[in-house]
Amino acid sequence: MGKRPTFIVDANLEYRGEFGRHFISIAEEGLGKNDAWLLVMAGGIEAEGRPARYNPLRPPTHIESAIAMLKFYYNAAPNPMKVALLLEELGLPYEPVPVDTRKGEQFSAEYLKVNPNAKVPAIVDGDVRVFDSNAILLYLADRQKRFVPLEANSAARGDLLSWLMLIASGVGPFSGQSVHFRNTAPEPKEYALNRYDFEAHRHWKIIEDHLATSHYMLGKDYSIVDMAFWGWARLLPYVLGTGEATWNTYPQIKRLLDEINARPAVARTELLKMRHAFKTELDDEAKRFMFPQNERLKKK
């Protein structure tokens, strides 16, 4: 599960370690399943391995993570990057595990146990496995009770689910198909490109109109919906094939994109892409892994 990091805990209940500087939650009696991986111990860990009750009068001490670190399976595509942004916004330590889809690593037997759909991203959080980027956003936000309305039957929760699912089922898929048919699909492709380009524009116009009257996707509060939006919006000129002229049509999307890009968590997220040299060539091997459906055409 990767090495366990050691942190220094100070009187302000912060930890500073190789994963940055973050506030932590302190459980009074012990470590629950969904607590924040660390518990400040009075005098360290007892011989039996049980955590002692926190005593603020005792000096801080070096301690180790009490449970396995979250594993994040990713590449540099829009869907994994929006999950990476949430992880950085939350300040959660995680072990990034690159999955190079152009080398076919998503089809390995080991990875299929994590995500039988052979897509990235996915996470393993202790004994919990979650795949699909939007499911991961919702899981982590609910787990940490941040960037998400928590009351199940509230209007705010209804808005969250509605806009998140619009991005999950509409914005993301149609944007992805627009890219595919514009840049990689064989001819003839006029009908398919017209359909997916039209639907991509239609979905982004819904977002644009919404943002004309709403600062963030959920009003005044920055949320996981904005992070889901960011994953695709930062590539919109490429998605639509319209270059910088894109922002003349979608100024509200550009406004929100610029605001999110200015957040420190985005800078940390962008650094994640530099930690692994993913294959960039779309050669025959990559096409075979990225577009396995084309093998059916060869049999006709």
Is pLDDT of 6 > 50? no
Least Cα distance to 203 among 227, 177, 224, 181 occurs for 177
In tens, the pLDDT along 172-221 reads 999 999 999 999 998 999 999 999 999 999 999 999 999 999 999 999 99
- pTM of the entire predicted model: 0.77
User: How many Å apart are CA 168 and CA 188, to the nearest integer?
Assistant: 28
By mean pLDDT, which of 3-7, 85-89, 151-155, 268-272 is the weakest? 3-7
Q: What are the two backbone dihedrals, phi and then psi, of residue 189, each rounded to the nearest 5 degrees?
A: -140, 10
Backbone angles phi, psi at 136, to 5 degrees: -65, -45
**Alpha-carbon distance 75 to 78, whole Å?**
9
pLDDT in tens, 13-71: 333 333 333 333 333 334 333 333 333 322 333 323 333 333 333 333 433 343 458 99
